[in-house]
Structure 1
Amino acid sequence: MAKQSIKFENQQHFTSKCIHAGVQADPTTGALLPPIYQTTTYLQEAVGKDKGYTYSRSSNPTVSALENKLAALEETPSATCFTTGIAAISAFAFSLLKAGDHIICSDVIYGGTVRFCKEILQKFEVSASFVDTSNPKEVEAAIQENTKVILIETPANPTLKLTDISEVAKLSKKYNLTLAVDNTFLTAALLKPIDFGADVVIYSTTKYIDGHNATVGGALLAKDESLNEKFRFTRNCLGSIQTPFEAWLTLQGIKTLPLRLKQHSENALAVARYLQTHELVKKVYYPGLENFPQHELAQRQHQGAHGGIIAFELKGDIQTGIDFINSVKLCALAENLGAIETLITHPASMTHGPIPKEQREQIGIGDGLVRLSVGLEDPFDIIQDLDQAFDLVAKKHKELSE
């Protein structure tokens, strides 16, 4: 008896979608993986008659496959993929904002987003307010007559402060605003913002979506197809479409997304618990810890786990932090996160360098804050590396004090 094939486009299980959604065997050769359509243009049958593609700045079959998969994971009508995460944020802003408009952003948010709002949008007379979106009252107080958009990041980069999406969504609906959530840290494997009332999901696919430090990319996904159409129009005007090869690599990364996020989360929790016990650590930020201030919200909003990012404050001055980061061996000092390798970052001088020092300190990004993107190595090896770095720092500072 022949086995009945499963229609994976209707498959409801997230893990299966990660593998099968949006792609099919090549009808010409039977190749299991989709081809890389490395082409500029496409032969048209006649004037005004084509096979859905005309020029790769507008659309490309490999990029479309990635977009179909992401849309299946987020359960949106479609997705729009970009060259980078900040290109996605730029297209989002240019699609929905005009001169005289106002945008509300989380106070703790990626430094590149802050720079874009302050240095680029401001030139086009679009103003931005950075508020504590974990407090709905502060969000409502910041809403002006010209406010059009609320952009939140949860968990926030790098302090992991959470925003209750449902509460902010109530405000966005009350005032007829568009609510966008940057879901880069958790992905649809651990959080689906649209289920909590968000209108748009934003990604740097560079991070966990790819997961292998192999590509840069971004994506926008809206529950309203008219918004997706605006994003595609803006992307075409800006020329910021994702490249075919990087889209193809990202498709391969997504296949293991649920497994990776599960292990990232388990490893991060183990490392966070270790850090809590170390005498050189002042404070640890991780939503999976029972003493995390918003642990209850994390339990309610996240889907069973809390991701692979940890932030922690070191005791001592900025030199202590520099000495510590320069002493790690297994952990790589790098400006990225979400990869299978453990990456360590000093936000004040790296990812959030564009934010003025006074503003950084007000939102908890001090000189002693370290961000750790916990990878898929054995957690014992990660802890051992951190431990030897702490020992070296303690030894150096002891010698200096003698």
Structure 2
Amino acid sequence: MDSNDQHLHFDSLATKRVEVKGPVNSLSTPIYTSSTFYLDNAQHGAALCLQDSVQDGQSPWLYSRWGNPTNDVAERLITKLEVGRSGLTTAATYVTSSGMSAISTALLALLHAGDHAVFPTNIYGGTHEVITDLLPKMGVSVTCVDPSDINNFVNAIKPNTKMLYGETPANPTMILTDLAALGNLGRTRNITTVVDATFGSVYNTRPLEHGIDVVVHSATKYYGGHSDLIAGTITSANAALHDRIGHYLRLLGGTASPHTTFLLQRGIKTLHLRMERHNQNALRLAQFLQSHAKVERVHYPGLESHPQHELAKKQMQPGFGGMIAFEVRGGADAGRRVIESVQLITLAVSLGGVESLIEQASTMTHTMVDRDTRERSGITDGLLRFSVGCENIDDLIADLTQALEKA
């Protein structure tokens, strides 16, 4: 017992901080649940509050909303994956409390009153709500364009355009945005580019390699991979963008819990194994659905029939992802019968987990999008969004076969 503690009463001894003795050499990342980190002296605290460099041997942690050791492990790991072969040396990542926290924080950090931004018409329902509800209240104007042609972005640019936003593959129609073209356009016009790459996963799609400035993910999906956490990621190509976004993340309070980032970095350890199966299963199922008499149309970049298949081969490597959209003959009622008839596949929203999930976009994930916008985006009433899992491919085909018979 520390001799300095001998004079303390029981209740003081019970609550006083006890330090971990090291070195520990833990193979698994510890979960640092501490909200607050103690300081060596007043100068140490001042440096952290001002976000200045601390002295050698001093802790860089102040308060977990600002940063946490467990979160830091996941963030550095994700940065390595996102950077890929881009050669970027100043890229950095924040893990946020959800995918929507990542998207909204990035938008609020990079757009201000009087700015204009260009977004795709084919976009996640939550993002659609942000750009039609939140951004107008901030005084930010938005133009939505068909993302399949980069000229649509070019023609939408105004003198006050500050952001070009892409989502590739798009949710749920699987339309691609040409990442290299978008990145080049942003650099040429000095406009920040942001891309949501959730659908493709970092295993298949790495926008930073194509010159994009900021990449966001719903880490709930493929990064986590087990439908047991909610998180998001924001990876910036340079320190200036990272610091600007970090300021807003701290103010808005969307920091992820260390319990979540522990699960996240654990899930990432099997990301490559899971994605190999997602890619294989989805391609086989897309081919099966394309040949089925009761399926009118299949949207999957890995199919030669996809209008952007050649682009997919350039920017989606080594595979085309685990997401499929397909339209059942008979419209909304036929689609509803299919999703209510599956047995192995689960009727549920979300995506990217090891289990296969299916839903009807027009009545579920995109019901908040007005009908006119849905139709212009290619989201028909009968469109089903299918997150292909890691089950046995023969079992998945058998389940879809019996469900389609009821359409």
Distance 1:51 1:279 in 2: 63
1:102 is matched with 116
SS at match of 2:67: coil
1:191 is matched with 205
2:51 is matched with none
1:376 is matched with 390
Q: Does 1:41 align with 2:36?
A: yes
Match of 2:71 among 57, 60, 63: 63
1:73-88 correspondence to structure 2 within 5 Å: 73-75=81-83, 77-88=91-102
Match of 1:309 among 307, 316, 323: 323
User: Please, what is the CA RMSD of the aligned residues?
Assistant: 1.2
1:19 is matched with none
1:278 is matched with 292
Q: Does 1:366 align with 2:380?
A: yes
Work out whether residues 229 and 260 of structure 2, in 8 Å CA contact, stay in contact via their aligned partners in 1.
Answer: yes
SS at match of 1:137: helix
SS at match of 1:282: strand
SS at match of 1:188: coil
SS at match of 1:68: helix
Q: Does 1:180 align with 2:194?
A: yes
1:72 is matched with 80
Unpaired runs of 5+ residues, structure 1, are 1-25, 394-402
Q: Does 1:220 align with 2:224?
A: no
The AA in structure 2 aligned to 1:56 is S
Q: Does 1:355 align with 2:369?
A: yes
The AA in structure 2 aligned to 1:244 is P
Q: Which has the larger radius of gyration?
A: 2
Distance 1:294 1:124 in 2: 35
2:148 is matched with 134
Distance 1:101 1:185 in 2: 28
The AA in structure 2 aligned to 1:43 is Y
The AA in structure 1 aligned to 2:261 is A
- Deviation of 1:27 after TM superposition, in Å, equals 5.7
2:25 is matched with 30
- Deviation of 1:278 after TM superposition, in Å, equals 1.1
Question: TM-score, normalised on structure 1?
Answer: 0.89
Distance 1:133 1:317 in 2: 25
The AA in structure 2 aligned to 1:55 is Y
The AA in structure 2 aligned to 1:34 is T
- Deviation of 1:276 after TM superposition, in Å, equals 1.0
Change in CA separation of 1:187 and 1:318 when aligned onto 2, cut-off 3 Å = closer
The AA in structure 2 aligned to 1:278 is H
Task: Give the aligned length.
Answer: 368
SS at match of 1:348: helix
Question: TM-score, normalised on structure 2?
Answer: 0.88
- Deviation of 1:295 after TM superposition, in Å, equals 0.8
SS at match of 1:79: strand
1:234 is matched with 248
1:390 is matched with 404
Unpaired runs of 5+ residues, structure 2, are 1-20, 45-57
1:3 is matched with none
- Deviation of 1:369 after TM superposition, in Å, equals 0.1
The AA in structure 2 aligned to 1:292 is H
Q: Does 1:288 align with 2:302?
A: yes
- Deviation of 1:380 after TM superposition, in Å, equals 0.7
1:324-339 correspondence to structure 2 within 5 Å: 324-339=338-353
- Deviation of 1:294 after TM superposition, in Å, equals 0.8
- Deviation of 1:37 after TM superposition, in Å, equals 0.5
The AA in structure 2 aligned to 1:168 is L
Work out whether residues 123 and 171 of structure 2, in 8 Å CA contact, stay in contact via their aligned partners in 1.
Answer: yes
- Deviation of 1:317 after TM superposition, in Å, equals 2.8
SS at match of 2:118: strand
Distance 1:284 1:209 in 2: 25
